[in-house]
Structure 1
């Protein structure tokens, strides 16, 4: 029987960089959940130092770094060794660039994502040093899972195989959905959404969007946070502020 002492109490949002892609300013986020019983659960680890965006024709692309995930965690007194769990939503460069900086964390990822990466998919080669870690560090999961009371992992393949979103149940805000890159922009959160150029499987991307739309209705989700929506992120509370 679980008790309320293991439930999420705070959700911190951290924008660790901004990717400038033509006229767009795209936030690069990480997240921290703190529970009643003292667990620190990090979601994604951001870009590695000195990362570069690929060439993109006429669009000028660059990265503006802010305080990285370690520096931002330090602002609230959390050190790398204090992270108990690192939820890896997927292994793209802007999400898994500092996984190895948290040596005591259990890494939680979808088995499908991990196995596709291990098989040598070129998309994840640049972050291999950050996710190709000893198997004993990993909890590999298959599909949806209640990771801890109040923290649900939602398998949402499409952007990449084995992508996962997170539903966090907070005491005051209520359910908060971190859509991550399953739905990176609020404008795409509809049944007839467009598929982005970085989504590897368009049909699965659309199916995962439908799944999240149904989840929001079923669970009465009060807030959906989209992974790379600059206008939305400019309105959100960010560390050291938090959602409770």
Structure 2
């Protein structure tokens, strides 16, 4: 009998961001800074590739006036990996054409995760939590101050597929609601066709210490930082019950190691 699940996982690096560690770990000294990777994940599923997250909107970084408006804080520095579009360059390096992607899912709408949605408007369905999209489109002034830029995703051509909680996106891929970092943040459980799998926390847990020491994340919307520990515990329970590896979203050691790993495929 053929086991349904993900046949191949391809982690992608779409940039970096230099910022205070306190953004990722609540209570960390503000003067301590980290250089964190901007991740995305490609999953080979039945029917084609599913992309988890899309990186930055390069237009907001390369145009001087737009960069001043959207990235004017001296405490945060986004970095692109090359001269072109990071997603296109990463796909080229992996030998996967853009048109092979048959669906996209965003963990949340922060600028370093949803900025590449411009590549998919009018092309493929985009999975998101309903509460996340409602917040992003609410027009409330604090939304942009929370680094959710409406210009990245307010496009009538986007085929939104909205969920209200946990949902199976494809055989072997389940979105798990982990709200706290943003109102509708979602993480992903990936079952490999050959057995085993991974839990991708994304920004429910930025760093390994968020997971191992259950440290609250430093950036949350609408909840106290301490409330962000329960989503971490939930992901840990899922990973433990299934025997899966739990991958933090922005860890500068874990993510490069994951990209260099071989054998991330199912039979």
* TM > 0.5: yes
Partner residue in 1 for 2:29? none
Match of 2:56 among 32, 47, 64: 47
Aligned-residue offset at 1:12: 0.8
Partner residue in 1 for 2:129? 110
RMSD: 2.5
Partner residue in 1 for 2:106? 88
Residues of 2 paired with 1:126 and 1:91: CA distance?
A: 6
**8 A Cα contact 1:21 1:62, kept in partner:** yes
Match of 2:187 among 132, 151, 165: 165
Partner residue in 1 for 2:26? none
Partner residue in 2 for 1:79? 97
**8 A Cα contact 1:19 1:27, kept in partner:** yes
**8 A Cα contact 2:214 2:232, kept in partner:** no
Aligned-residue offset at 1:94: 0.3
**8 A Cα contact 2:177 2:186, kept in partner:** yes
**8 A Cα contact 2:204 2:217, kept in partner:** no
Aligned-residue offset at 1:118: 1.4
**8 A Cα contact 1:190 1:210, kept in partner:** no
Could you give the per-residue CA deviations for residues 111-133 of structure 1, whole angstroms, max 9, x where no partner exists? 01011111124335753233223
1:69 aligns with 2:87: yes
SS at structure 2 position matched to 1:71:
helix
Structure 1 unaligned runs (5+)?
none
How many residues align? The count is 235
Partner residue in 1 for 2:13? 15
**8 A Cα contact 2:54 2:115, kept in partner:** yes
Residues of 1 paired with 2:2 and 2:158: CA distance?
A: 28
1:205 aligns with 2:220: no
Partner residue in 1 for 2:24? none
Aligned-residue offset at 1:157: 0.2
Structure 2 unaligned runs (5+)?
21-32, 62-66
SS at structure 1 position matched to 2:127:
strand
**8 A Cα contact 1:19 1:62, kept in partner:** yes
TM-score (norm: length of structure 1): 0.86
Match of 1:227 among 249, 261, 265: 249
Residues of 2 paired with 1:112 and 1:8: CA distance?
A: 27
Gap change, CA 1:46 and 1:33, over 3 Å in 2: same
Gap change, CA 1:172 and 1:165, over 3 Å in 2: same
Partner residue in 1 for 2:43? 33
SS at structure 1 position matched to 2:94:
coil
**8 A Cα contact 2:120 2:158, kept in partner:** no
Gap change, CA 1:192 and 1:28, over 3 Å in 2: closer
**Larger mean Cα displacement after TM superposition, 98-107 or 159-168:** 98-107
Partner residue in 2 for 1:100? 118
**8 A Cα contact 1:191 1:209, kept in partner:** no
Residues of 2 paired with 1:135 and 1:102: CA distance?
A: 9
